[in-house]
């Protein structure tokens, strides 16, 4: 069986995702697709608007055959660790032939070239990087200039007009990190990319038939008339969202974390510095700001700067809210993914599961085991669901023990 994989969040699923799934089948000529999705908190450092089991169900209803959860220690991390966690998971289950990801440039060649240069840097590249950093340039600017100069000496590739846009676009950056991880792991998984269609990943408004998930979340958060986006969502997703509304489902948003963050910060001796990315005195800035902030957006505007991006700060706060401060996440996220958590599957997905059980290097879980010697990554997943249940009261705090995979 020829199996392809997609790494996604589906927060929520929209028609751009359906296009991606269909193109993946077309490009890779696969027999089945595995979707690796973030759990109840996502890479931007936000709670998922809808819980992971419902999102997994919708993914299977719309073309994915088997959904596996990306552990929280990776899913709420930078692009580098998010990608490494997902690729190492796919590599470890040992049945995946290809990976297809969306990118703004839609061309694998420059993405793979940049990934290889960064993962296996030449002396020439490192010398150029050091030179530009020594001149006072910020790291990412220095990196871009070094990459550009190196590419000028390569007759097989020309990045003259595309390097800056490639390195400044969200999906391109993730694509580079996916390819870096494939190279790092010496993986046999073959990479494919398709050009992202429609609105930009970060766009907060609907400007095309393929709106961003960001814009859709904004409409739901603001209780906008969802009839206006009915034609922009897959039917099953629209119907599920309407059904959840009618049943008073507790959609989760970042703003809901604020009072809990404030309480934890003020009663735990300002221990935010235990979060790996909250270094260089950033924890003090967060602590001072949280005292004087009235809500989540107020807090973010008080601490955001050119040095600290909104997404990086969101991840720090999200990790702190969940309880990452009690774990050595620096070590955990650098290690290969230690298990595969099954969230949903269909008949084809069951066939894939049987293959995984025969070939996988890591254990598969449906419900989580009740063990005193539980893996720290699993403990963090359980903590994540408990934390999520505070924001989304529709979810049982012990759902990881109680919920079986969705079978369609």
Binding residues, by number, are: 7-20, 102, 171, 196
Radius of gyration of the chain (CA): 21
Alpha-carbon gap, residue 125 to 265, rounded angstroms: 42
Alpha-carbon gap, residue 100 to 77, rounded angstroms: 21
Cis bond before residue 240 (omega within 30° of 0): no
Instruction: Assign 343 to helix, strand or coil.
Output: strand
* β-strand partners of 36: 7, 68
Residue 99 and residue 178 in contact, taking contact as beta carbons nearer than 8 Å: yes
Alpha-carbon gap, residue 78 to 311, rounded angstroms: 9
- Report strand pairing: 3-8 vs 32-38: parallel
Within 135-195, residue ranges assigned H as helices are 139-152, 163-167, 170-184
- Residue 391: C-alpha distances to residues 223, 238, 247, 255, 307 (Å): 17, 22, 16, 10, 29
Alpha-carbon gap, residue 79 to 66, rounded angstroms: 23
Alpha-carbon gap, residue 135 to 128, rounded angstroms: 11
- Residue 268: C-alpha distances to residues 255, 264, 265, 325, 329 (Å): 21, 6, 6, 11, 19
Enter the tokens of residue 387: 């934390």
Q: What is the dihedral of CA 102, 108, 110, 115, to 10 degrees?
A: 80
- Report strand pairing: 340-345 vs 66-70: antiparallel
* β-strand partners of 365: 341
DSSP state of 193: E
Q: Which residues are annotated as a binding site for ATP?
A: 7-20, 102, 171, 196
- Report strand pairing: 41-42 vs 46-47: antiparallel
CA 140 to chain centre: 21
Enter the tokens of residue 69: 């959860």
Residue 16 and residue 220 in contact, taking contact as beta carbons nearer than 8 Å: no
């Amino acid at each position: 069986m020829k199996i392809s994989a997609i790494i996604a969040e589906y927060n929520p699923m929209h028609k751009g995702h359906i296009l991606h799934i269909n193109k993946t089948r077309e490009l890779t000529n696969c027999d089945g697709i595995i979707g690796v999705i973030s759990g109840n908190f996502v890479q931007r450092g936000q709670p998922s608007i809808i819980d992971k089991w419902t999102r997994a169900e919708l993914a299977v209803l719309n073309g994915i055959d088997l959904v596996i959860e990306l552990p929280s220690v990776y899913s709420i991390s930078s692009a580098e660790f998010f990608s490494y966690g997902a690729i190492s998971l796919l590599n470890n289950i040992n049945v995946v032939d290809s990976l297809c990801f969306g990118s703004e440039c839609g061309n694998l060649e420059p993405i793979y070239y940049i990934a290889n240069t960064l993962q296996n840097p030449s002396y020439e590249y490192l010398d150029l990087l050091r030179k530009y950093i020594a001149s006072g340039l910020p790291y990412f600017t220095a990196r871009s200039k070094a990459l550009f100069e190196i590419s000028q000496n390569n007759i097989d590739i020309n990045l003259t007009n595309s390097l800056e846009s490639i390195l400044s676009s969200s999906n391109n950056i993730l694509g580079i990190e996916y390819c870096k991880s494939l190279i790092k792991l010496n993986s046999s998984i073959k990479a494919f990319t398709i050009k992202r269609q429609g609105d930009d990943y970060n766009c907060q408004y609907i400007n095309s038939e393929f709106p961003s998930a960001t814009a859709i979340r904004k409409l739901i958060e603001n209780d906008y008339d969802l009839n206006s986006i009915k034609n922009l969502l897959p039917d099953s997703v629209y119907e599920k969202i309407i059904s959840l509304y009618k049943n008073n489902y507790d959609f989760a948003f970042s703003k809901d974390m604020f009072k809990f963050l404030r309480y934890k910060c003020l009663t735990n001796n300002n221990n935010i510095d235990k979060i790996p990315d909250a270094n260089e005195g950033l924890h003090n800035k967060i602590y001072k700001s949280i005292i004087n902030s009235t809500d989540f957006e107020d807090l973010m505007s008080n601490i955001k700067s050119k040095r600290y991006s909104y997404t990086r700060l969101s991840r720090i706060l999200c990790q702190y809210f969940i309880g990452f401060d009690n774990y050595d996440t620096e070590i955990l996220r650098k290690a290969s993914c230690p298990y595969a958590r099954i969230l949903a599957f269909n008949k084809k997905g069951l066939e894939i599961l049987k293959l995984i059980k025969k070939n996988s290097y890591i254990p598969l879980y449906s419900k989580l085991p009740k063990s005193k010697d539980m893996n720290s990554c699993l403990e963090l997943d359980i903590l994540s669901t408990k934390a999520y249940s505070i924001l989304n009261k529709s979810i049982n705090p012990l759902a990881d023990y109680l919920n079986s995979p969705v079978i369609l």
